[in-house]
Amino acid sequence: MARTLYVGNLPWATKAEDLKKAFSSYGEVISSRVITDRETGRSRGFGFVEVNDEDASKMIAALNGTELEGRIITVNEARPK
């Protein structure tokens, strides 16, 4: 079973690969994506990381409030659409 984590306050230059690298230290990352503006293609400053269910809580505890590329990120369980 997989869970999706919301990652907020990302630096504008952050790519999906950067998210995957940061989170994979704490468990398996199934997928990662940074949300971009449709018109400009620029990052909107947040993204999502899909992870194994058993790793999700550990990742939230380890990464919420930590620094990624100079900014303090927010990590929590994503709300359904």
What is the tens place of the pLDDT at every residue in 17-70?
999 999 999 999 999 999 999 999 999 999 999 999 999 999 999 999 999 999
The pLDDT of residue 75 is above 90: yes
Q: Within a 13 Å sphere around the CA of 67, how many CA atoms are in the beta-carbon half?
A: 3
CA dihedral of residues 62, 19, 7, 70 (deg, nearest 10): 80
SS3 33: strand
SS3 46: strand
The pLDDT of residue 80 is above 90: no
Q: How large is the average pLDDT for residues 8-21?
A: 96
Confidence at residue 36, expressed as pLDDT on a 0 to 100 scale: 97
C-alpha–C-alpha distance, residues 37 and 41, integer Å: 5
Give, in degrees to the nearest 5, the angle at Cα 59 between 63 and 2.
140
Q: All domains of the chain, ordered by start, with CATH?
A: 13-77 (3.30.70.330)
